[in-house]
């Protein structure tokens, strides 16, 4: 059972990212402010949901949220500053894009480099504990999946429409056979 908030009585925003462990494509993050009375029995950590459930939830989250936004850090940025900093950058971009300024952030994970000036708390496995972080995990994952599906047609050899850029055996075999694409993260162990 997900909790509605971490800190009562403030405009609280949940943040999560998707694509950190991938070999290709950007890292996506989402920031979501839910109304205090929001409730949805299906909502959970995006990894616990089917693809169909995630896409069912996305319009519900977008229509119900007080505010939501998605931020991205490219494969080039990941290679330039590292994946952890790029994840924080994507989260910061999502928070800064919100139409309502949050008073408090709850971040999935155990650390965050905060340049927003907004007080925050990191929560390990927060996407399975708090509704706003779970909602952010669903948006980050579905928007990233949309992107990977779109670029899959450009480079069909890698199977991104199925693996979404994650390091599967087939994905690594395709890199070995075809080399790297412009979307691959060159600083990652690709083979």
Within 10 angstroms of residue 36's Cβ, the number of other Cβ atoms is 11
**Whole-number pLDDT of residue 61:** 98
Q: 86-138: per-residue pLDDT in tens?
A: 999 999 999 999 999 999 999 999 999 999 999 999 999 999 999 999 999 99
CA distances from 103 to 79, 106, 121, 126 (A): 32, 10, 12, 18
Q: How many helices (H) and strands (E) does the chain have?
A: 6, 5
Half-sphere exposure of 190 (CA within 13 A, CB side): 20
| pLDDT for residue 96 | 98
In 3D space, the residue among 17, 139, 137 whose CA is nearest the CA of residue 84 turns out to be: 17
Tokens for 91, please give them.
Answer: 């989260």
Q: Is this prediction's pTM over 0.75?
A: yes
Q: What is the DSSP letter of 129?
A: T
Name the helix (H) or strand (E) containing 76: helix 75-81
pLDDT for residue 152: 96
Per-residue confidence band for 1, with pLDDT thresholds at 50, 70 and 90: confident
What integer pLDDT is reported at residue 125 of this predicted model?
96
Give the model's pLDDT for residue 177: 96
Q: Give the contacts of 112 (CB within 8 A, at least 6 positions apart).
A: 15, 88, 91, 105, 120, 122
C-alpha to C-alpha distance for 183 and 26, rounded to whole angstroms: 8
DSSP-derived letter for residue 49 is: S
Q: What is the mean pLDDT of residues 171-191?
A: 94
Paired sense of beta strands 27-33 and 12-18, if any: antiparallel
3-state secondary structure of 75: helix
Q: What is the pLDDT of residue 191?
A: 84
pLDDT confidence tier of residue 73, bands split at 50, 70 and 90: very high
């Amino acid at each position: 059972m997900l909790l509605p908030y971490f800190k009562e009585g403030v405009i609280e925003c949940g943040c999560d990212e998707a694509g950190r462990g991938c070999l290709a494509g950007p890292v996506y993050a989402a920031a979501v402010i839910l109304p205090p009375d929001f409730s949805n029995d299906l909502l959970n950590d995006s990894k616990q949901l089917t693809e169909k459930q995630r896409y069912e939830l996305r319009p519900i989250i977008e229509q119900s949220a007080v505010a939501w936004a998605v931020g991205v850090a490219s494969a080039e940025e990941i290679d330039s500053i590292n994946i952890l900093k790029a994840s924080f950058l994507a989260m910061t971009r999502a928070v800064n894009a919100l139409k309502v300024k949050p008073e408090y952030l709850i971040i999935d994970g155990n650390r965050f480099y905060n340049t927003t000036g907004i007080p925050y708390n990191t929560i390990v496995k927060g996407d399975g504990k708090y509704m706003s972080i779970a909602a952010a995990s669903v948006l980050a994952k579905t928007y990233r999946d949309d992107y990977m599906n779109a670029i899959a047609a450009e480079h069909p050899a890698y199977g991104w429409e199925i693996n979404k850029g994650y390091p599967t055996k087939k994905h690594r075999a395709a890199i070995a056979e075809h080399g790297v694409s412009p979307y691959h993260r060159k600083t990652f162990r690709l083979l």
